[in-house]
Chain A
Amino acid sequence: MRSGLLRFEDWTDPVPPVEREVVSLTEDARADLPPLLFVPGLGHGAWAFADHWLPQAASRGYAAHAVTPRPGGDLRAHVHDVVQVAASLPRQAVLVGQGAGALVVAYAMGRYPVRAAVLAAPVMDGWPTLGAALRINPFGTLPALFGGRLRLSRKQLFGPEMPAEDAQQHLDRIVARPRRELVMHDPAPRPVGDPPVLVIGSPDDRVVPRTSLDRTATRYGGAPLLFPGMGHDLMLDVARAEPIEAILDWLDKTLGDQGTS
């Protein structure tokens, strides 16, 4: 069995430091609310949250940050990046991960006691996601299996209502080179400090199948909160305001309960 206490890899071969891109909105932050740290998925960066979810969270009094984990880094390096940024915040942070970013958050929760976490359209078990990708977008996916670039398609990430130009603009920014470990990783560790975890997703997500979403939610002791009609990129799709409002409502309620108990 792997040891949780003897972390030889971290002791003998620490992840090298890098400059990390962090986008922050903290002006209207209330002192009694924890900071939020958004973690983007494969090929995305902090930009994916910068225009919509970040300002919306900030308008509700949260200090909102988004990090771009190091380009080209492996899962371990990305977890390191997220934990480093989380620990650099003044208060215990809430992590919000989307897509493969949710996997990073799930791993980070094993290292850092988050105040709470949200896994949005989490790519937690890679095989069903790979299967779905090969079915829906075989030509974009196949090269990635041989170390090439992953070309995500519009219908994978967005719902049908998404205007074609907007979708194309986002797609142009995505540079995705998935690593083998996205599919072949160990199960995520148990979160330290037993934090509240919310799983959200869409039944129409073409990247994360519904069964996979349910499995993840069950693992964290709940049912997923669903946003029908939306694609995988919940923070960019047309109805993007709804999931973040729901997340913030959940946080207000959960953290409020914690405060009074």
Chain B
Amino acid sequence: MCVIGAGASGLAAIKNLREAGFEVDCYERETSVGGAWNWRHDRSPVYAGTHLITSRPLTEFPDFPMPDTWPDYPDHRMVLSYLERYSAHFGLETNVWFGTEVVSVAPAGDGRWDVTTQSTGGGSSRVQRYAGVVVANGHNWSPARPEIPGDFRGQVIHSAQYKDPAQLRGRKVLVIGGGNTGCDIAVEAAQQAGTVWHSTRRGYWYAPKYLIGRPADQVNDRMLKLRLPLRLRQWLYRRAVALTTGDLTRYGLPAPDHQPYESHPIVNSQLPYYLGHGRITPVPDVTAFDGASAVLADGRRVEPDLVITATGYRPRFEFLAPELLDTADDGRPDLHLHAFARKHPTLAVVGLVQADFGLFPLAHWQSVAVARWLRLRVTDPQRAAAVQQKESVRPVASWSRRRVVPTARHWFEVDHTDYLRAVEGLLREMEPVS
């Protein structure tokens, strides 16, 4: 089996494929594990102040808990040390070829794959044949940059290049993007920069990190545990935000144009605080640059000397022909459970999912399902065919979030309980008959 990438998802894939009895080769272009969470990697989106936005119990691997003495929201250094310990604990690095990039993955017939690799330093390429390929190359490394017309005299960087608050000190900063990164950077700018504008296209539900003294996601899961209907949860969410964050339109932010749970959650307790202190000025979309100024959708102009576009990332699979993942022209792959290639039973992607939940547990269960599926194909092809048949009629709406704001950011948005129930259903179908 071949695993591409030794970040959190790739490590989970190695471990779970090995547990299912497979031999694994993992290719990693960097020289260490940790993927996006390893700030030493040049493609890492991590900045100095990065913390988890989901709390520890909802973020740890289900079979390898983080130390219970860690804080509710560990920072990126802790998360990296956790991934390094996970890797060392299960001896995963013995299966990883570091400094090796995957150039192409091509079907070789009969469900097998020819994987072409090359040393990151260059040199000759090497082709190896595998019985299956698990892609875990991450989806937060290829920056999506907005196309803003006009010339700008100041500096424009993507949030991927933002590493340290010192970059902001004393400057006039415009942060573009209302995602969690955009809000985090706006807050850091409020603490460091001279002037801060925060440009968002729409209003969001800014959830606090804590509710009634508990991490907010844990409170949210209490409601999910009780299986409260979506409408009621939306009402409770609005009430909770009203009572904690309060009405932000007062500061000039637009009201949300969607219901709670229809966009990826924004969790930030400090943004409203700095709005209230006048340290952050909310502004609408940037429509153009003009010399020293940025032109806003409402016609106003602001004159920043640093623009940070926190406009997210796009998934990229240069080593795969687009039709293998049923990738549409806009770059959106169409995968069963966001993991299984629909026409290639031995090709899967792990970790390509966004949720109101930590990614590690989702990547864990995805890779468990992938490993069991690949194993079942070997041990009992007939049952595998039956499972495939059954899965092909599983309605997308049962595991994918139905109503979301239609932007690329929500391509892979799922509700973690619906999603995990669907994965569990698949795992049950593949259970050995006793």
Contacts and interface: CB of A to CB of B under 8 A. Distances in A.
A11 B69 CA distance: 16
Contact of B88 (A3, A15, A17, A90): A90
Most buried by B among A91, A112, A113: A113
- Interface size for chain A: under 10, 10 to 19, 20 to 34, or 35 or more residues? 20 to 34
B65 A90 contact: no
Contacts of A92: 89-91
Interface stretch (A50-58, A79-87, A207-215, A228-236): A79-87
A241 interface: no
A87 B64 contact: yes
B89 A80 contact: no
Contact of A4 (B58, B219, B417, B424): B424
A189 to B, nearest CB: 12
Interface string B61-96: 011110111000000000000000000111100000
Contacts, number: 71
Given A84-B65, A84-B68, A87-B89, A5 B225 contact: no
Contact of A8 (B63, B221, B424): B221
B224 interface: yes
B90 A111 contact: no
A12 interface: yes
Contacts of A87: 64-65, 67, 89
A10 B365 CA distance: 16
Contacts of B420: 3, 5-6
Nearest to A88: B67
A187 interface: no
Contacts of A16: 68
A147 interface: no
A194 B375 CA distance: 14
B68 A15 contact: yes
Contacts of A112: 63-64
A91 B62 contact: no
A136 to B, nearest CB: 36
Contacts of A6: 417, 420-421, 424
Contacts of A12: 218-219, 221-222, 225
A112 B424 CA distance: 18
B57 interface: yes
Given A10-B57, A14-B68, A84-B67, A91 B221 contact: no
Contacts of A246: none
B19 interface: yes
A80 B417 contact: no
A89 B89 CA distance: 7
B404 interface: no
Contact of A17 (B68, B219, B417, B423): B68
Given A5-B423, A8-B221, A113-B19, A83 B89 contact: no
Given A15-B68, A17-B69, A8 B62 contact: no
Interface string B348-371: 000000000000000001000000
A8 B69 CA distance: 20
A14 B68 CA distance: 9
A171 to B, nearest CB: 33
Given A11-B221, A12-B221, A193-B19, A111 B417 contact: no
A89 B86 CA distance: 10
Nearest to B420: A5
A52 B61 CA distance: 35
Interface in A173-227: 192-194
A5 B68 CA distance: 20
B68 A80 contact: yes
Given A8-B221, A11-B221, A14-B68, 14 more contacts: A5-B423, A5-B424, A8-B224, A11-B217, A14-B57, A17-B68, A80-B65, A84-B68, A87-B65, A87-B67, A91-B88, A91-B91, A92-B91, A112-B63
Interface of B: 19, 56-58, 62-65, 67-69, 88-91, 217-219, 221-222, 224-225, 365, 417, 420-421, 423-424, 427
Top 10 closest pairs, chain A to chain B, by CB: A17-B68, A8-B225, A5-B420, A5-B424, A193-B19, A14-B57, A11-B221, A12-B222, A17-B69, A12-B218
